[in-house]
Each structure stands twice: as C-alpha cells, then as structure tokens.
A = this chain, B = another copy of it.
Amino acid sequence: MNKPKLSDVAELAGVSLTTVSRVLNNRGYIGDKTRKKVHEAMEELNYYPNEIARSLFISKTYIIGVIFPTTNNPFYGQLIYHLENFCEALGYKVLLCNSGGREDKERAYLEMLQRHQVDGIIAGAHNRGIDTYHRSRMPIVSVDRFLADHIPVVSSDNYRGGELATQHLLERGCKHIFHINGRRSLETPANLRRDAYEETMKKHKMPYKTYVNVDDYSVRMFDENPKIDGVFASDDLIAGSVIREAMKRGINVPGNVKVIGYDGADMTRMLFPDLTTIQQPIEAMAKEAVHLLVKLINEGEKTAVENITLPVELIQGKTT
C-alpha cells in the first residue's frame, strides 16, 4: 500500500516512464489517447508526482522561507497573509518561521531554511550581527529591518510617519508629547519614527522624551509626567495599552491626553476603529517584498540592491 510512483502509473497505463514524464511536463510529442490513458492511470492510482524528487533534480524548490516574530499580531498577521498570497500567485510556497523575537531561534530557522534549499527568504525578525545573513549568498529581502548591507529593505516611510504623527499632536494643541518605541539596539527603520518625533519636537522648540517599551513603561510615563497631554506610540498595541492605563487613572482620552498609534492593520481598525493612527501600506509592502525577492531569485546578483520605501497615511480616529 505504498505511495504510487511514476513507474506504477506507467505500468498501469501501459506506457513507458518517459512517456508519463512527458505527459507530466508537457514536453515532446504526446498523442491524445496516450495522454488520456496516463491521466486515467494517475487518477485511478491517486498519484501525485513527488515534488521532492523533482526539486532535487532541478535544484529548485519553489519554497520561500518567511521569518517574522509571530503571526499573533495584527501587523505581522496581515503582512504574512499578504506575503503568502503574493508568493502563491507566483507559484511559490511559504515555509513559516516564528522566531518569537529570539535570536537563537532565528539562527536555527535560518540554518533550517538553507538545509531545506528554499529559493529565498523574506525576513523581518531580528537585527544585523547574525553572520549567517552576511555569509549566505541566498536571495533575501527584509521587511522593516536592516539585516546586512547587501540585503534590500522594504519598509514604509517611517520618518514621514513619525513626522505626521508628531505634527498631528502638535496641531491638536498638545504641549507635552511623549513617544514610546522599541530598544534602539533593534536596527529597524522604525527608529526613524523616533528620530522624526524628536527632530520635529526640537524644531518646534518643545521638550521631548522617548520611553522604551519595556516593563511598566506606561505606568512610569504617567507617573513621571503629570502634565502629559499627548502620546505617540510606535505601534497600535502600545497605543492601546497607554489608553487603558490612562482610563485606569481617570484620564480622559482625547480630552486630557491625546494618543496616536502606528500600523493601522486591518484587524486593529476593526477592533479599535476609534484609534488615530499612522497606517502602513501593509499589502503593498508584502507585494514589493515578494516581487523583489522573486526578481533576485531569477536574476541572481545582477539585480542591484535597492531599498523600497512606501508612503504612509494618517488615519484620524477619536483618540486625538
């Protein structure tokens, strides 16, 4: 009761191995009745060609490895959804890797993907310093992360987003605006949001301070700054937790404190439509990443490394 193979099909159809292979790959001349016989045999045997054997021979798997921290997040969940869709449309399959933000896991995944002979990798998980990224000549595109000099980055216009968010809070009359962001050690374009915030505040001669989203950052921020009246959170989840903390303290949003988030993923918009946020073009980012990667796969090192930056948009909600 083993899996049927090509030779079983050939035998049942009463033709040669080569003929079956010709039918499968539409190569050479094949007669109509023969093609039919072969298809019937495949049907009857419930035969599926072994793609592993094929991959081995043609040295190509049509698999793309996708490494991100998690699918359990509105932004990544949506990004990965679109990545998978665009891959599928181009005939590629996706091997999913959730690094959970752990560098050791990421390194292990990277090695696994090489062993599995994936045709390319789309990564948005960690930072440079993982030498595997450097050493490998594997086609890689990163989303929202600097991985290595020769790896192109697809991201949205983070600086412009930070600027938009900060200006928006200023326009709404905020005087004491704070920013929350990840550790700077994570080398991601998201740091540009912070730069934009700080520079915009400086330009307006306003005091500024960035909190790092660790531990009880929300509690500390409110405790340390009684006059706080505006918060630019570097993502929508953080914005949500800031708003929760504010409500817990009886601080009215947007009355006393205005809060703007970042990302504007579909699910966030559905579950928290009132949130003012900077929306990233997630689907477009996925599209660019996949198309660029496939170009790299097909053209090899001829393709010049060029980063892609896409525009963001302010979505006015009721929290500012």
Partner of A84, one of B74, B98, B271: B98
One digit per residue, 1 when the CB lies within 8 angstroms of any chain B CB and 0 when it does not, for chain A 84-100 equals: 11001000011111101
Is A112 part of the contact surface with B, judged by Cβ < 8 Å? Answer: yes
Q: Are B271 and A116 in contact (CB under 8 A)?
A: no
One digit per residue, 1 when the CB lies within 8 angstroms of any chain B CB and 0 when it does not, for chain A 45-79 equals: 01011111101100001010010001111100110
Chain B residues in 8 Å Cβ range of A46: 135-136
Is A270 part of the contact surface with B, judged by Cβ < 8 Å? Answer: yes
CB distance from A256 to the nearest CB of B (A): 19
Is A266 part of the contact surface with B, judged by Cβ < 8 Å? Answer: yes
If A96-B94, A112-B93, A117-B52 touch, does A81 touch B70 (CB 8 Å cutoff)? yes
One digit per residue, 1 when the CB lies within 8 angstroms of any chain B CB and 0 when it does not, for chain A 235-263 equals: 01100110010000000000000000000
Q: How far is the CA of A240 from the CA of B98 in the complex (A)?
A: 28
Can you name the residue of chain B whose Cβ is closest to the Cβ of A63?
A: B95
One digit per residue, 1 when the CB lies within 8 angstroms of any chain B CB and 0 when it does not, for chain A 121-142 equals: 0000000000000011100000
Is A213 part of the contact surface with B, judged by Cβ < 8 Å? Answer: no
Q: How far is the CA of A72 from the CA of B282 in the complex (A)?
A: 11
Is A80 part of the contact surface with B, judged by Cβ < 8 Å? Answer: yes
Chain B residues in 8 Å Cβ range of A267: 72-74, 77, 237, 267, 271
Q: Are A114 and B271 in contact (CB under 8 A)?
A: no
Is A204 part of the contact surface with B, judged by Cβ < 8 Å? Answer: no
Q: Are B115 and A48 in contact (CB under 8 A)?
A: yes
Chain B residues in 8 Å Cβ range of A50: 56, 115, 117
Partner of A271, one of B88, B93, B268: B268
One digit per residue, 1 when the CB lies within 8 angstroms of any chain B CB and 0 when it does not, for chain A 1-15 equals: 100000000000000
Residue contacts A-B, CB under 8 angstroms, 6 given? A48-B114, A52-B61, A52-B117, A72-B82, A80-B96, A237-B270
